[in-house]
Structure 1
């Protein structure tokens, strides 16, 4: 039931925000988005889950507590942010996509294979919601 409420709130926020938005995202808004995405990943690199939680959308935080969010993470992997780039923006939904490049490595080498492989580059595309003039990370449920 909480997931349905979260989804409904996110959809409403996207529709309402999208009605007022322009078709293109300004360079300033893109820069603000990338700055927030990078700051979120800096918090994740530092294992400051509470700081990373603050980048999640208000609708997400209405449903999921900080403690619930923090349980999603493991101390078995280290990340190093290598890139953040703007991908696209859907003005009608007020949602932007940001590609994040991260080097991921296990903290503890549990096998010869993991030691030989070492750090692995990972690229993921995140969704960010524009609401009330602020960019919020759209956390996966």
Structure 2
């Protein structure tokens, strides 16, 4: 009888959430990150704004978002890695690797520095089955 009681109690417990993304979720997230970075590389800030979270877009309209960027750097996306996923918060951490270079080699420092590798840490949130860049990091 005790074994039956333990079994019934165990069955009544909610299933533990996976802390890993499944392949479809990971692929969808990676695609969204790549698409957003393609827009950034093209300096298409209006398109990049479309990847920000719905809550962010409610507060910051596209015309204001576009004004906060300049054209002083060029990027080349060299890789990305999903490093963490918190299912209870529906948040994923992504490391984006880019090669960054100044658009104009106007100073000796810009010429000396040239192209540099960078790692950028981004937070993406899952809202209604879609991944969105969290600009409020």
The residue number in structure 1 matching 2:80 is: 84
The 1:140/1:72 distance shift into structure 2, 3 A limit, reads: farther
1:64 match: 60
SS at 2:51's partner residue? coil
Does residue 47 of the first structure (1) align with residue 43 of the second (2)? yes
CA distance in 1, matches of 2:61, 2:18: 33
Q: Distance in 2 between matches of 1:89 and 1:38?
A: 18
CA distance in 2 between counterparts of 1:60 and 1:22 reads: 28
Are residue 131 (structure 1) and residue 127 (structure 2) matched? Answer: yes
Structure-2 separation of matches of 1:77 and 1:117: 12
Question: Which protein has the larger Cα radius of gyration, Structure 1 or Structure 2?
Answer: 2
For 2:77 and 2:90, how far apart are their aligned partners in 1? 25
Higher relative contact order (CA 8 A, sep 6+): 1
5+ long unaligned stretches in structure 2 = 1-16
Normalised by the size of structure 1, how large is the TM-score?
0.81
Taking structure 2 as the reference length, the TM-score comes to 0.84
Structure 1 gap ranges (5+): 1-20
What residue number does 2:105 align with?
Answer: 109
